[in-house]
Amino acid sequence: MKPLEDYLVVDFSQFLSGPSAALRLADFGARVIKIERPETGDICRHLYTSNVIMNGESSVFHAINRNKESFAADLKSEADRAQVWELVRRADVVMHNYRPGVMERLGFDYASVRAQNPSVVYGEISGYGPDGPWRDKPGQDLLLQSVSGLTWLSGNANSGPVPMGLSIVDMLAGAHLAQGLLACLVRRSLRGEGGLVQVSMLESAIDFQFETLTTHFNDGGQLPQRTRHNSAHAYLGAPYGIYQTQNGYLALAMGSIPKLGELLGCPALLAYPDPKQAFEQRDDIKATLAQHLRTNTTEAWLAVLEPADIWCAGVLRWDELLQHEGFRGLDMTQTVQMTDGYAYQTTRCPIRLDGELLTSAVGSPQLGQDNARLQQEFMTSNIAQHD
């Protein structure tokens, strides 16, 4: 049994942040209905990455929207709105990621929905919060990385700002929305109350940096300083970083510098016996380590370091990872199928409940594929009422 079986989620959101939260709810067992604009649908359907098109639509749309239904409706048409209301009235969760003010204009804002559905749990994601001077700016991942200071944490000291190379802020905002919705569903199950959950990409990006921002608030407001080379965390000392070896790369996390010197046969590292030096002289230590680690293979270094409990790992590419027994044992992939028979491989929900994997064979929906069925299921009684 999945925890959200019998829950109905009506999702007006697009792109990644909101739909990734709805995907999580779907994998927990909820029935998720996407409300999409006729003709074009969720804009993400045509937001291609590296021009990869699967069954006529973008690969990322298929990743984000599997295990969902699609109801195409023009929210400006009275007839369509009435049908959407039939869904919204029965929903346990209603969510969207329009900019502040848009849902009020469309008439499906929290106050309006709650008036018809008092115990609804209503979620929304904005770019920069419901008010404030930036509320009307586009809530787009790279822009949020840029204004939240995040781009000064990765890369080396002379790299300039370095973004994280995936839509990290969208992912986090979606994860936070899912947390808030689940927490309010817990409250509803205990006390019968509905609730409003609001998340913004900027608040999520700040929360992501809670450790480094708290440090910034308490270190006199200094800026993060990345190391000259092999930087992996602006606030950590040597050896923390990734180093080139004779045949690849080696990741080294925390570890005593003199002990590393002994194990690696690098006497120059014995000159740093005080743990404070690992932070204060990290550029020099890293330069020495980098030069030394190039003299042998990744496997050779791992063979010395792992038995000594030094935290280290080889650096894998996806093809190497996917072939590794450690990955295959996770059963992290699943094949899903669309209603037209098109099947594709994707990942599964990362959480296990009662030792079971939360999988589903349902692929992403074609735009509006469920209109007829949903009309029959939810709207006939309404039509009968009007008779």
Partner 1 sequence: MSLPLEGLLVIEFSQFLAAPSAGLRLADLGARVIKIERPGAGEAGRQIAIKNLFIDGSSLVFHTINRHKESYAADLKNPEDLARVKQLLARADVMTHNFRPGIMEKIGLDYDAVRALNPRIVYGVVTGYGPTGPWATKPGQDLLVQSMSGLTWLSGTAQDGPTPFGIAVADIICGSHFAQGLLAGLLKRGKTGQSVLVEASLLESVLDMQFELLTTHFNDGGQLPQRGAVRGTAHPYLSAPYGLYPTQDGYLALAMGNLPQLDETLGCGILEAYPEPASWFEFRDAIAEKLTAALREKPTQHWLTTLEPLGIWCAQVLDYQQATSSPGFQALGMQQRVQLPDGQQLATTRCPIRIDGQKLYAPQAAPRPGQHTAALDAEFNLRTTISN
Residues 287-346 that bind partner 1 (CB under 8 A): 309, 311-319, 321, 325-326, 329-330, 332-333, 344-346
- Report in angstroms how near the CB of residue 347 gets to partner 1 at its nearest: 5
d(Cα 349, Cα 364) in Å, to the nearest integer?
Answer: 15
Please state, in angstroms and rounded to a whole number, the distance separating the CA atoms of residues 131 and 110: 16
For position 8 contacting partner 1 by CB under 8 A, the verdict is no
> What's the min distance (Å) between Cβ of 203 and partner 1?
4
What is the pattern of x (binds partner 1, CB under 8 A) and - over residues 42-81? -----x-xxxx-x----xx-xxx-----------------
Integer CA distances (angstroms), 340 to 98, 123, 232, 366, 376, in order:
30, 32, 45, 9, 21
Nearer to partner 1, 341 or 355 (CB): 355
Angle at CA of residue 79, ends 338 and 86, nearest 5°: 65
Among 240, 293, 305, 365, binds partner 1 (CB under 8 A): 240
- State which of residues 192, 307, 341, 355 lies at the interface with partner 1 (CB under 8 A): 355
Considering the complex, what minimum distance in angstroms separates the CB of residue 37 from partner 1? 19
How many CA atoms lie less than 13 Å away from 73 in the CB half-sphere?
A: 29
Helix (H, G, I), strand (E, B), or coil: what is residue 94? strand
Q: Which residues pair with 58 in a beta bridge?
A: 53
User: Which 175-234 positions form the footprint of partner 1 (CB under 8 A)?
Assistant: 175-180, 182-187, 189-191, 193, 195-200, 202-204, 206-219, 221, 223-224, 226, 231-234
Q: Is 345 helix (H, G, I), strand (E, B) or coil?
A: strand
Contact partners, residue 272, CB within 8 Å, separation at least 6: 257, 258, 261, 278, 281, 285
Q: Record the tokens describing residue 354, joined without a space.
A: 């009662």
Q: How far is the CB of 361 from partner 1 (least distance, A)?
A: 15
- Nearer to partner 1 by Cβ, of 28 and 71: the residue is 28
Least distance to partner 1, CB of residue 375, Å: 29
Q: How far apart are the C-alpha atoms of 253 and 239, rounded to whole Å?
A: 6
The 10 Å Cβ neighbour count of residue 76 is 11
Binding letters toward partner 1, positions 120-159, x by CB under 8 A: --------xx-xxxx--xx-xxxx-xxxxxxxxxxx---x
Count of residues that interact with partner 1, criterion CB under 8 A: 142
